[in-house]
């Protein structure tokens, strides 16, 4: 299910196919490169922290959910990239051995006034662990090529 702009139904929640297995080694590899705080790198430091044991960087959790979104929701033919994210919340820690899945609700869609070949969409994503606990949520603003409209290179980060 990778709907284009025309097929997205406002108010519908899409349960996205696919899941992401969180591993100890990937948590550490991501943290070493992008978020080298002790509780994302080292079991002993994490045991002393508020997480209680090694936990994924919040940006890693977001990135894993993005992978599920790209593979299970965003139509590669019409998706034009994102403008931004609002109300991102890390609701629960993500640990090695967790399995993530996501749901996406379409909150709003509208045709660009200045460029009718482009549709703007607001979606809410919620990521869950294997126990059904919500671990992350955000709302996203994305752009999509409309069917049967001429288009150039507009769109992408920071354009419009």
Q: Which residues bind a copy of itself (CB under 8 A)?
A: 30, 33-39, 49-52, 55, 57-60, 62-64, 66-67, 70-71, 74, 76, 79-94, 135, 138, 153-159
Which is closer to a copy of itself, CB of 11 or CB of 133?
133
CA distance 125 to 88: 9
- Quickly count: other Cβ atoms within 10 Å of residue 100's Cβ: 22
Asked whether 2 and 75 are in contact (CB, 8 A), the reply is yes
CB of 105 to a copy of itself, least distance (A): 18
CB of 75 to a copy of itself, least distance (A): 11
CB of 32 to a copy of itself, least distance (A): 10
Q: Residue 104: which of 143, 76, 151, 72 has the closest Cα?
A: 72
Side-chain-facing half-sphere of 21: CA atoms under 13 Å: 3
CB of 153 to a copy of itself, least distance (A): 5
Which is closer to a copy of itself, CB of 13 or CB of 53?
53
Tokens representing 20 are 């992401």
């Amino acid at each position: 299910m990778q709907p284009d702009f025309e097929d997205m139904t406002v108010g519908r929640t899409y349960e996205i196919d696919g899941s992401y297995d969180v591993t100890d080694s990937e948590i550490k590899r991501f943290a070493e490169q992008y978020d080298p705080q002790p509780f994302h790198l080292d079991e002993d430091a994490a045991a002393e922290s508020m997480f209680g044991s090694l936990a994924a960087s919040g940006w890693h959790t977001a990135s894993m959910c993005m992978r599920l979104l790209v593979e299970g929701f965003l139509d590669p033919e019409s998706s034009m990239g994102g403008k931004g994210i609002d109300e991102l919340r890390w609701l629960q820690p993500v640990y090695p051995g967790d399995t993530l899945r996501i749901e996406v609700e379409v909150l709003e869609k509208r045709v660009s006034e200045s460029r009718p070949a482009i549709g703007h969409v607001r979606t809410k994503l919620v990521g869950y662990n294997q126990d059904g606990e919500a671990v992350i949520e955000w709302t996203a603003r994305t752009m999509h090529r409309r069917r049967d409209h001429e288009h150039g290179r507009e769109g992408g980060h920071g354009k419009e």
